Structure 1
């Protein structure tokens, strides 16, 4: 049976890996393990040891504490400004994660303009 902490840590590994644009194979090679082990970590099937989590954090350029952020919060549904119910694990959605990664790849001045445009469009749709 999987432990909720292992599942949370696994989700954070997957999210960060996606944010930096790395595959399971690439991460596994950097850490020195098989990609199947990364799969098991990401699903929470296998518990990540402290030393392995340290290596994964270094490979993904985040401190170990990153993997535990949000652990104390209940993963409840969030409500957007328009009252729409959003899933608690929004970044668990591949499309949302890809959108966030693409957004941050845009230069800052253009990103700000895109953000303003999105806000205007969402206000117009309401």
Structure 2
């Protein structure tokens, strides 16, 4: 017994596959565009400095760079002095603050550290 495939069925299957592929491609494009818009909003928004302050707090916390970014000059200088006096152990403060910054929602971070001007933790 030999099975013969109907050319019409083959064409329908092929057409359905191509349609599904096109739908997946379109959905991937839309998802990529949504991600890109969100990324641009998060990184280009001069009002909310959460990402940059959080990363600098984690990476360069001992130097108080994250404090200077948020406009806390006095606290930034205090952070530098503490780091020097404690031979670097005060860098832990910057690390903890960076983690706290990144775990807060954008709105909560903005209201607490930029509008409310809360300088520590």
Q: Which has the larger radius of gyration?
A: 2
TM-score by length of 2: 0.25
TM-score by length of 1: 0.25
More helix by share: 2
